[in-house]
Chains A and B, each alone.
Chain A
Amino acid sequence: MTASRRDFLTAAITTTGAAMTSDRSQVDSSGHDHEHQAIPSDFALRVKSLESLLVEKGLVDRAALDALVDTYEHKIGPRNGARVVARAWTDPAYKQRLLGNADSAIAELGYGGMQGEHMRVVENTPKVHNLIVCTLCSCYPWPVLGLPPVWYKSAPYRSRAAIDPRGVLQEFGVKLADDVEVRVWDSTAELRYLVLPERPGGSENMSEEELVALVTRDSMVGVGKARRPGEVDRS
Chain B
Amino acid sequence: MNGIHDMGGMHGMGVIQAEKGEPVFHAPWEGRVFALRRAMGAWRKWNIDTSRHEIELVPPAEYLSLSYYARQFVALLEMLVKSGLVKRTEIESGVAAKDQPKATPALTAEKAAALVAKGVPTSRNLPVAARFEIGQLVRARNMHPAGHTRLPRYARGKIGTVQQDHGVFVFPDTNAHFLGENPQHVYSVRFSARELWGQQAAVQDSVYLDMWDDYLEPA
Contact with A along B78-89 (1 / 0, CB 8 A): 100100011010
CB of A137 closer than 8 Å to a CB of B: yes
Known contacts A5-B78, A188-B152, A155 near B68 by CB under 8 Å: no
A64 in the interface (beta carbon within 8 A): yes
A190 in contact with B169 (CB, 8 Å): yes
**Chain A positions within 8 Å of B64 at CB level:** 155
Known: A9-B58, A44-B27. A113 touches B109 (CB 8 A): no
Residues of B within 8 Å of A116, CB to CB, are 119
A186's contact among B14, B78, B109, B208, by CB below 8 Å, is which? Answer: B208
Give Cα distance in the complex from A146 to B24, angstroms.
Answer: 8
B108 touches A63 (CB 8 A): yes
Collect the chain B residues with CB atoms within 8 Å of residue A210's CB: none
CB of A213 closer than 8 Å to a CB of B = no
Question: Do A181 and B16 touch (CB < 8 A)?
Answer: no
Q: Encode A54-85 as 1/0 by CB contact (under 8 A) with B.
A: 10111111011111110111001100000000
Q: A185 contacts which chain B residues (CB < 8 A)?
A: 207-208
Is the CB–CB distance between B92 and A7 below 8 Å? Answer: yes
B86 and A54 within 8 A (CB): yes
Partner of B13, one of A34, A68, A156: A156
Other-chain contact of B206, A12, A33, A73, A183 (Cβ < 8 Å) = A183
With A54-B40, A59-B85, A65-B39 known to touch, is A186 a contact of B209 (CB < 8 Å)? yes
Please state if B204 and A181 are interface contacts (CB–CB under 8 Å).
yes
A interface, size bucket: 35 or more
Contact A189 B7 (CB under 8 A): no
* Stretch in A91-99, A163-171, A195-203 touching the partner: A163-171
Residues of A contacting B196 in the complex (Cβ-Cβ under 8 angstroms): 162-163
Contact partners of A43 in chain B: CB under 8 A: 27, 29, 70, 73
- In the bound complex, residues from chain A placing their C-beta under 8 Å from that of B90 are 53, 57
Of the A-B pairs whose beta carbons lie under 8 Å apart in the complex, a sample of 23, sorted by A's number, is A7-B88, A7-B92, A8-B78, A12-B66, A33-B17, A39-B30, A39-B67, A46-B73, A64-B112, A72-B31, A117-B120, A136-B150, A151-B17, A151-B19, A159-B7, A159-B11, A163-B154, A182-B193, A182-B206, A188-B150, A189-B210, A190-B122, A235-B21
**Closest A-B pairs by Cβ, 10 of them:** A135-B8, A189-B210, A58-B103, A61-B105, A68-B35, A65-B35, A155-B13, A69-B31, A58-B102, A63-B109
